[in-house]
Amino acid sequence: MARYAEHQALALPVRRPGVPIHRWLYAEMRAAILNGRLAGGQRLPPTRDLAHQFGIARGTAVAVFEQLVAEGYVTAAAGRGTHVASSLPDDLFAAAIPRAKLLKTSGHPIGLSDRARPLTRSPFPLTGPTTAGGAFRAGQPDLMAFPVTLWSRIGNRIGRRSQRLLLGAGDVAGYLPLREAIAAYLGTSRGIRCSAEQIVLVASVQQGLDLCVRLLVNPNESVWMEDPGYPAARSVLEAADAKTIYVPVDAEGIDVAAGRRSAPSAKFAYITPGRQYPLGVTLSLKRRLELLRWAEQSGAVIFEDDYDSEFRFSGPPLAALKSLDSIDRVVYAGTFSKLLFPAIRLACLVLPVRLIDPFIAALSLTTRHMPTWNQAILSDFIAEGHFSRHLRRMRTLYSERAEALQEAARTHWSDFLVMSRIESGLDTAVLLRPRIDDRAAAAAAARANIELRPLSGHSQRRPRLRGFVVGFAAVDSRSIFDGASRFAQILKEQVSISKAHRPVSRH
Amino acid sequence: MARYAEHQALALPVRRPGVPIHRWLYAEMRAAILNGRLAGGQRLPPTRDLAHQFGIARGTAVAVFEQLVAEGYVTAAAGRGTHVASSLPDDLFAAAIPRAKLLKTSGHPIGLSDRARPLTRSPFPLTGPTTAGGAFRAGQPDLMAFPVTLWSRIGNRIGRRSQRLLLGAGDVAGYLPLREAIAAYLGTSRGIRCSAEQIVLVASVQQGLDLCVRLLVNPNESVWMEDPGYPAARSVLEAADAKTIYVPVDAEGIDVAAGRRSAPSAKFAYITPGRQYPLGVTLSLKRRLELLRWAEQSGAVIFEDDYDSEFRFSGPPLAALKSLDSIDRVVYAGTFSKLLFPAIRLACLVLPVRLIDPFIAALSLTTRHMPTWNQAILSDFIAEGHFSRHLRRMRTLYSERAEALQEAARTHWSDFLVMSRIESGLDTAVLLRPRIDDRAAAAAAARANIELRPLSGHSQRRPRLRGFVVGFAAVDSRSIFDGASRFAQILKEQVSISKAHRPVSRH
């Protein structure tokens, strides 16, 4: 039996200030075993000696030894002392490669799947913004106008009510009082007659779309997608191995007849009837009925992304496509991230009756349910009337900002951009007059802290649409005018650059 | 041009009390058009007459007409009056089928995809429990012991600080101060050296697993799964079209050599090293190193589900497999739903460096990020020391309950069930001695309000394991003894039933 390690062999690096003794001793002994300074089979000193050597409590040394035994680094047997485990394989040494070094070299390569390509093609920024708004952030409500103190007060009250059951696993479909409040709201505001049973809370419209397409579409089956359309939806459809069929959009919305010609037996259609994204047109009643008739004949399910049409400025919101859905084949999706604030991460679906059980089972498997606390706050926020009040206030505020943007556009953009009348929403599309690259212009604008989404990334048709999605809801009027003036200057420069280059290419 | 409708033709059903006038008028006129009582092309009375007829404000009538025009039900032209739209297709009538009737007939059938089968095979209950605990709910921490008032007070403070940026879209990976706090915690508690950049917050371990397998595994590629193992993980793997390879578990955990024989080139392995689910064994150091060596050679990624091993009763938690991962191929997953309370819906992953960007992009596309508010509360909860304090208290509480369960098992179950020493966790597995059906016994127990998960549903090997997963963390000692005694009685009855049936089958 080996004599236990000499004091020299057990010399451990000095403990840094602030590191607790037991952590230091555990980490250093483990490291010494892993890098071979303490060899397999080697006997360790008795805890009494160790405690004496390092001036620590014996109990600490005992606890560390027990931990090393439990983890298999050290073996202990009554009357035989403790030893470094002799069965440690040779490649333990490999484990000693410092992680810091690995981080520098970005680690070993990891092979991705084929569907990782669409699945990682996300148009969303990966880090949060550093400002609450600014010209011309799209798709965002005004954060300054949200009654955050009221919101947190409701949260505090829920905590004081101390409903322990709210801490446990909740209904997968969502907190029932919230679903009831949403069903009532959708009846009034969107003309949808539905019961709380059909409502399911998800984190985002995208999450709802992801689960629906996985549940409904087999690999290589066709799905309709608007062109131009929402790139994030396209990525989700393709990540589920669906075959995307681009159906053109005109002044009445998606051209259903064209869709029927391209892919009559598609299984699924992603549509934005309330305010087509990005063009902003409303799907006409005629087209709505054509679409529903097609769904009835083909057996397709229609996914209605109703992302922001609650904010209509010239009257109450238009009824949703779902309100006409007598064949129960439309999934309606709305999002509180745009109605209230993005960080809430709550969207709601109204599901066809036949889809409720499969959807809830799939949600339960892949996510379980949305956090209950947020849902309970939102539920009270709606029930106490704060929600309608907030929407009314925001409709007025956004309407004023839409006016400001239209005035600013008339003043500064008429040479460069075509803007239609803004009827609703948080943003609008403008089309470029001069033949310049919208991505280059958006990049130049970004360097001047002006946010714009280029339209060309939204369309498949040739020639591609060129223009921008321009947000106004989260931008105060001063910033709208200032941003419009500065962006006009940038467009002017882009036109000059473009002209300077064009003659060369004609030679 | 048609004279406008007679008063009789425009007779609308009486307004129910409480329904606002504009909603009533809009809904009834729309219904009259949809069901053909107002025919296409028919002229509508002037708003003035309508207002007079029904005794309502003219402005209300005008607003309703404008809404119907915007939605395409009615056309209006200056000097020509308003008419029911004549281009309404015949099948508008179809839209009038009452939804209530549809609900009764469960709607039209909807065809599901092939992968809908595993995707809807969820072992989780779809509605929340009606009690905060009880014998022998598994996988749940004690809800009564959670400092819910403190939690909501922190939330209220965050609201008062009024950080508007917390309302906007956040970092997709998670709230940075929280990720920093988690990185520090995992270093101390689980031996994982990682930076906040590697940490990503997700809603559940299942969500992390779903995205990882979709990113890493192509359809029909092999993945390792423990047998017995966690059924929910298996469903997620199969919903991503992976080919599940069952690798047996013995007293040292997953049998890596057996896995190498069955599927040496598998792309992915789902493992529970800290406390194997459901058997409870800890993966030995030797096996850990074998597993990492295999991953290095095959290029596989290992998913370490570390769902509850923080609660170790005989010393500090054992270090995670990830702490040995010098080749950076292990995804570590832990969950606050078990450490704190299920409704929080927050889990964390430590990702290999090479997987960070693809994972965050996929999360951003399919979900965006976790709600910020919860994350900010948890971040302060950890930073202020409440988290460690709570875990310490829970370790003591659960340890006492584990003792109680072991004593109750000795007293009541020794004829029927074999229970190993409980070292850690929120639940434990017991094996049946008599040859009875564990599902039938669990169903009988459920009728007596005793919750148990039958083991046979967790295993693929023949003969199937028979026994139960028995939770103790959310069950007070009295309920443990009472439940154990009552369940012993149920088992006794099941044995009698089984004996009564057996001779018959031998004839």
In chain A, the residue whose alpha carbon lies closest to the alpha carbon of B127 is A171
Chain A contact present for B94, CB below 8 A: yes
Cβ–Cβ of A364/B124 closer than 8 Å?
A: yes
User: Which residue does chain A place closest to B171, by CA atoms?
Assistant: A127
Distance of CA A451 to the CA centre of its chain: 19
Residues 6+ apart with CB under 8 A from B75: B69, B82, B83, B85, B86
The answer to whether residue A116 neighbours chain B at the CB level (below 8 Å) is: yes
| Chain B residues in contact with A193 (beta carbon < 8 A) | 99
Nearest to B332 by CA among B362, B363, B309: B309
Q: Are B148 and A159 in contact (CB under 8 A)?
A: yes
Can you give the pLDDT at residue B260?
Answer: 98
Please give the pLDDT value at position B91. Answer: 44
Of A49-58, A81-90, B142-151, B297-306, the range with the highest mean pLDDT is B297-306
Do A49 and A64 belong to one domain?
yes
- pLDDT at residue B9 is higher than 70: no
A155-197: pLDDT as tens digits = 888 877 757 778 999 999 999 999 999 999 999 888 999 999 9
Q: Does A120 touch chain B (CB under 8 A)?
A: yes
Please report, rounded to a whole number, the percentage of residues in chain B having pLDDT higher than 90: 66
Provide the mean pLDDT of chain B.
89
Q: Is A53 inside any structural domain?
A: yes
CA distance A472 to B79: 36
A352/A412 same-domain check? no
| Set of chain B residues whose Cβ sits within 8 Å of the Cβ of A284 | 72
User: Do A220 and A308 share a structural domain?
Assistant: yes
Which one of A63-67, B1-5, B122-126 scores highest in mean pLDDT? Answer: B122-126
Mean per-residue pLDDT, B396-414: 97
Per-residue pLDDT, A47: 85
Contact flag A328-B99 (C-beta cutoff 8 Å) = yes
Q: What is the pLDDT of residue A189?
A: 87
pLDDT at A57 over 70: yes
What is the average pLDDT across A261-284?
96
Residue A157, in any domain of the structure: no
Share of chain A above pLDDT 90, in %: 66
- What pLDDT shows up at residue B27? 80
The dihedral built from the CA positions of residue A389, A390, A392 and A393, taken in this order, carries a sign that is positive
String of DSSP letters for B256-304: HHHHHHH-TT-SEEEE--SS-TTT-PPPPHHHHHHHHHHHHHH--EEEE
* Closest residue on chain A to B130 (Cα): A165
CB contacts, 8 Å: A165 with chain B: 128-132, 143
Nearest to A198 by CA among A77, A50, A350: A350
Report chain A's C-alpha Rg in angstroms: 31
Please answer yes or no on whether A204 and B368 come within 8 Å at the CB atom.
Answer: yes
Q: How confident is the model at residue A309 (pLDDT cuts 50, 70, 90)?
A: confident
**Claim to verify: residue A367 and residue A442 sit in the same structural domain:** no
Share of chain B above pLDDT 70, in %: 92
Task: Tell me, yes or no, whether B288 and B325 share the same domain.
Answer: yes
Inter-residue contact B280 to B369 (CB < 8 Å): no
Task: Inform me whether the pLDDT recorded for B397 exceeds 80.
Answer: yes
CATH number at residue B488: 3.90.1150.10
Nearest-by-Cβ selection for A110 from B99, B122, B354: B354
Q: Which residues make Cβ contacts (< 8 Å) with residue A36, sequence separation at least 6?
A: A92, A93, A96
pLDDT average, residue stretch B336-355: 96
The predicted-structure confidence for B425-459, as pLDDT tens digits, reads as follows 999 999 999 999 999 999 999 999 999 999 999 98
Q: Are residues B380 and B415 part of one domain? A: no
Residues 316-345 of B with CB under 8 A from A: 316, 318-319, 324, 326-329, 337, 341-345
Is A131 a member of any domain? no
Contact A479, A134 (CB under 8 A): yes
Q: A-chain residues within 8 Å CB-CB of B210?
A: 366
- Between B14 and A456, the higher pLDDT residue: A456
Name every chain A residue with its beta carbon within 8 A of the beta carbon of B284. Answer: 72
Taking an 8 Å cut-off on Cβ atoms, the answer to whether B318 and A97 are in contact is no
Question: What is the C-alpha separation between A244 and A219, in angstroms, rounded?
Answer: 11
Nearest CA distance, A242 vs chain B (angstrom): 11
* pTM, full prediction: 0.87
Q: Are A258 and A248 in contact (CB under 8 A)?
A: yes
Query: Of A366, A384, A402, which residue constitutes the final position of a domain?
Result: A384
Across the interface, whether the CB atoms of B63 and A155 are under 8 A apart is answered: no
pLDDT of amino acid A51? 85
Q: Would residue B399 count as lying in a domain? A: yes
DSSP per residue, B468-492: EEEE-TTS-HHHHHHHHHHHHHHHH
Q: Which of A357, A384, A411 is the last residue of a domain?
A: A384
> Would B7 be classed as within a structural domain?
no
User: What pLDDT score was predicted for residue B89?
Assistant: 47
Q: What residues in A contact B114, CB-CB < 8 Å?
A: 218
Residue of A nearest to B111 (CA): A216
**Looking at the DSSP assignment, which residues form a beta bridge with residue A81?**
A77
Instruction: Decide if pLDDT at B158 tops 90.
Output: no
Please indicate whether, in this complex, the C-beta atoms of B116 and A362 are within 8 angstroms of each other: yes
Q: Which helix (DSSP H) or strand (DSSP E) does residue A366 occupy?
A: helix A353-366
Out of B350, B384, B418, pick the residue that ends a domain. Answer: B384
Least confident of A83-92, A260-269, B400-409, B468-477: A83-92
What is the per-residue pLDDT for A361?
97
Give me the CATH number covering residue A223.
3.40.640.10
User: How many Å is the Cα radius of gyration of chain B?
Assistant: 31
The torsion angles phi and psi of B414, rounded to 5 degrees, stand at -60, -25
The pLDDT assigned to B330 comes to: 97
In this predicted structure, what is the pLDDT of residue A162? 59
| For residue A40, pLDDT beyond 80 | no
Q: Is the pLDDT of residue B3 over 70?
A: no
- What residues 417-476 of chain A have any CB closer than 8 A to a CB of chain B? none
Round the average pLDDT of chain A to a whole number and report it: 89
Chain A positions touching B353 (Cβ under 8 A) are 102-103, 106-107
In a domain, residue A117? The reply is: no
> Under a CB-based contact definition with an 8 Å cutoff, are residues B208 and B202 in contact?
yes
A402 with A371, same domain: the answer is: no
**What is the pLDDT at residue A1?**
38
**pLDDT value of position A86:** 73
Select from A345, A379, A421 the residue whose CB has the most chain B CBs within 10 Å, as the one to mutate to test that interface. Answer: A345
Query: The domain containing residue B272 runs over which residues?
Result: 169-384
Helix and strand element counts for chain A (H, E): 17, 14
pLDDT digits (tens, 9 = 90+) for B351-382: 999 999 999 999 999 999 999 999 999 999 99
Coil, helix or strand at residue B39:
coil
- Residue A169 has its nearest CB partner, among B129, B217, B362, at B129
Select from B204, B181, B206 the least CA-distant residue to B194: B181
The interface predicted TM-score of the complex, written ipTM, equals: 0.87
- In total, how many domains does chain B have? 3
Cα–Cα distances in angstroms (integers) from residue A90 to residues A36, B226, B293, in the given order? 9, 26, 11
pLDDT grade for B188, boundaries at 50, 70 and 90: confident
Same domain, A244 and A209: yes
A95 conformational bin, left if phi > 0, alpha if psi -120 to 50, beta if neither: alpha
When pLDDT is cut at 50, 70 and 90, the band that residue A4 belongs to is very low
What integer pLDDT is reported at residue A7 of this predicted model? 40
Residues B350 and B370 in one domain: yes
- Whether residues A285 and A347 share a domain: the answer is yes
Task: With residue A339 as reference, give the H or E element that holds it.
Answer: helix A336-339
Residue A176 belongs to a domain: yes
Report yes or no on B401 lying in a domain: yes
Q: Nearest CA of chain B to the CA of A203: how many Å?
A: 6
Q: Confidence class of residue B39 from pLDDT cuts 50, 70 and 90?
A: confident
Q: Does the pLDDT at position A256 exceed 50?
A: yes
Distance CA(A272)–CA(A288), nearest Å, equals: 11
Looking at the fold, whether B211 and B295 belong to one and the same domain comes out as yes
Q: Which amino acid is at A6?
A: E
- Rounded to an integer, what distance in angstroms lies between the CA atom of residue B439 and that of residue A196? 33
Domain CATH number, residue B97: 1.10.10.10
Q: State pLDDT tens for residues A195-209.
A: 999 999 999 999 999
Q: Which residues in B lie closer than 8 A to residue A162 (C-beta atoms)? A: 148-149
Q: How high is the pLDDT of residue B104?
A: 54
The residue of chain A with its CA nearest to that of B141 is A168
Structure confidence at residue B5 (pLDDT): 42
Considering the domain architecture, whether residues B424 and B487 belong to the same structural domain is answered as yes
